[in-house]
Structure 1
């Protein structure tokens, strides 16, 4: 594609009409990613500069799945040994098992920040019981993510308004209009943006809504390769202002077909070495 052709493309009009059916948002995000990579390569600038160049690095957490307490303890120690400074723990199942898992992770990693991700698994009351049980054990998470079903906005608000632990919307938050509604009703403290859930253009609008309403930002991901995670890292580094970063999935893959995009040290992704575009290549 020539430079002239690239410059004639306006990303927003191309993508916004296609974002109406939420089910194709991931495909649209892929199209937007390709266009943005081509555009910034043609300009000779890295993608994070295109998004504002606020910083040149981001620091991700690492997730621990719903495992036994013993396995959680071992994984926590391994995570700390990798230089990761915050851990996201999957919860949302049996409350006793969840509390035991979090206790074990805290024992294995006493000095890291903890995030809980319930993945819609709790009722509002169960979420509060979990947080109270942990508080009684002197464990206070930095964040609880999506405690209730994505459509239970009243339940989400109930949890948010009955705990001092920040509550994040993930599956409940997928568009700027939807996020504005959640914030207006007092249902969230934090919004988790996922590019594969909303696309780049809508993600920019979501971030703008959150900033205007003084709501914290988080970036997350599905099970994605280095290609998509690099795009998210450039997005976050360029915009700045994201308090929580959950972009660990390349570390969980047995094999990744891509290289480049960022340099990694512990949980830090450094994009400063990228000369143009995403800086991603096939292996």
Structure 2
């Protein structure tokens, strides 16, 4: 007898979505999401969706490499049982480890289909710690004047936390942060250097802001992702919490960062580690009293929904940066969550991610 959760078909296609304006960070600039959509169908008709969001400076992938890997993965998982999602994900990752965002998308699609088949929301499957989350909103590397306008817009949307991209010219970075503080005096500020600084530059930036009575609640990835010692140096010389993002590319890397005392916070991104290893990283952080953050690449509502389900289901995330759908000029999906200001509500979802295509 055929299992009702047998994977009967897997479709792979490009997912291109223009942004409202170019998004510039220390390692590059993008004007559109150039992602990959994976659709998994089970024997009982349940359909699950997964999104790969390759970003070359962070994951070393492109849309072209992701499409090729996803098509190969499709052949690998078709005919397998989605109920065996852990060994299936392990097999995919063992073969396609260099295409991390594709592995994440496969896990996403399989788990979406499986939980739709079982008629439970994905956040319930992950533990049901809560049914809503609150995100921040990001401001890219732009002029101080434009940063002021973007910060005012963020506040008008109900954002209580604003994340500012830095990691370029120090003076310009400080000016940008000052403009945001002027436009949003009551908002908490996160700084994200995306590997753009040396350890000394990171500390100089914090010192310059402190002189202006600006104290961020977090400094994310101030130095190059392989410079674990540099991260530790910054952490040891400031009272501002320091987060690893690009450096936290695996559970093993996170274990090393924590054992070194290199950071205070770990930023989990599905496109780096997928859903399953993200669960392992979250458990590791909880066991060591290391604060948790969640972030995204240039993800659409689909992958952001998966991250929101993970965060709501597992619980315990202190910093939440899942704003990228608000940066897009189009939304090819509906559902996944209901948004009210900065809050994403998952409570109305009855099965899976709750995502549908328009």
Match of 1:12 among 86, 92, 100: 86
Q: Give the unaligned 5+ runs of structure 1.
A: none
Does residue 207 in structure 1 map to residue 208 in structure 2?
no
Equivalent positions of 1:237-276 (< 5 A) are: 237-276=312-351
Deviation at 1:3, TM superposition (A): 2.8
Match of 1:71 among 127, 146, 157: 146
Query: Residue 103 and residue 4 in structure 1: after superposition, are their counterparts in 2 closer, same or farther (change >3 A)?
Result: closer
The farther-off stretch of 1-10 and 155-164 is 1-10
**Number of positions where the alignment pairs a residue of Structure 1 with one of Structure 2:** 283
More helix by share: 1
The answer to whether the 8 A contact 2:82-2:111 is kept is no
Please list the CA deviations of residues 137-160 of structure 1 after superposition, one character each: whole Å capped at 9, or x if unmatched: 110001000000000110000001
Query: Residue 219 and residue 155 in structure 1: after superposition, are their counterparts in 2 closer, same or farther (change >3 A)?
Result: same
Separation in 2, partners of 1:171, 1:19: 19
Query: Residue 88 and residue 4 in structure 1: after superposition, are their counterparts in 2 closer, same or farther (change >3 A)?
Result: closer
CA RMSD after TM alignment: 1.3
More strand by share: 2
The answer to whether the 8 A contact 1:16-1:201 is kept is no
Match of 1:197 among 260, 263, 272: 272
Deviation at 1:74, TM superposition (A): 1.0
In structure 1, the partner of 2:4 is 3
Match of 2:102 among 24, 27, 31: 27
Match of 1:135 among 206, 210, 220: 210
Q: Give the unaligned 5+ runs of structure 2.
A: 7-41, 43-80
Query: Residue 217 and residue 3 in structure 1: after superposition, are their counterparts in 2 closer, same or farther (change >3 A)?
Result: same
In structure 2, the partner of 1:42 is 117
TM-score, normalised to structure 2, is 0.77
Please list the CA deviations of residues 247-277 of structure 1 after superposition, one character each: whole Å capped at 9, or x if unmatched: 0000000111100010000111000000111
Deviation at 1:22, TM superposition (A): 4.1
Please list the CA deviations of residues 119-145 of structure 1 after superposition, one character each: whole Å capped at 9, or x if unmatched: 000000000000011111110001000
Match of 2:162 among 60, 66, 87: 87
In structure 2, the partner of 1:61 is 136
Give the 4+ runs in structure 1 shifted more than 4 A. Answer: none
Separation in 2, partners of 1:17, 1:33: 15
